[in-house]
Amino acid sequence: MQTRATSQSLDDLRQKLDALNIDVSCALSLSRATLLALAAISRDAREAIDNCLSEEAAIVRIEDLDSSAAVAAMLNEARHQVRSIRDDLSAAASRDLERVLVESAADLQSLRRTSTLD
């Protein structure tokens, strides 16, 4: 049988756990955003981040705690996201290069036309 004091204590505990959940979720989101922003800076940054995440995942697996599999999965997902930035940046660079080549070709055609008219 729950007393009024027990019920109040449980409500307080739920509120504190909810607040803690919000804080942890926020910290994880900010960390993920920071990693992705750093990974976008350069290839060396992406490789360093990927190596660190890989090492952390290995450490977690060695510790073999109840949550180790979940933590290792989150770290590997972060590695996947960092690697996908490389693909996104490569695709963006390819599009930019293609655009520049097309514009340059158009400029050359324009120059050729004006030089044949002179």
**Burial profile 75-104: b = 16 or more Cβ within 10 angstroms, e = fewer:** beebbeebeebeeeeeeeeeeeeeeeeeee
* Res 87: pLDDT: 67
* Res 113: pLDDT: 74
Q: How many domains does the chain fold into?
A: 1
* Res 94: pLDDT: 67
- pLDDT tens sequence across 64-101: 888 888 888 999 999 999 988 876 666 676 677 777 77
Query: Looking at residue 65, what DSSP letter applies?
Result: -
* Res 7: pLDDT: 84
Check pLDDT > 90 for residue 116.
no
* Res 98: pLDDT: 76
* Res 117: pLDDT: 65
Residue with tokens 């960092």: 82
Confidence of residue 53 (pLDDT cuts 50, 70, 90): very high
Range of the domain at 110: 4-117
Share of the chain above pLDDT 70, in %: 89
Angle formed at CA 16 by CA 10 and CA 20, multiple of 5 degrees: 140
Check pLDDT > 90 for residue 20.
yes
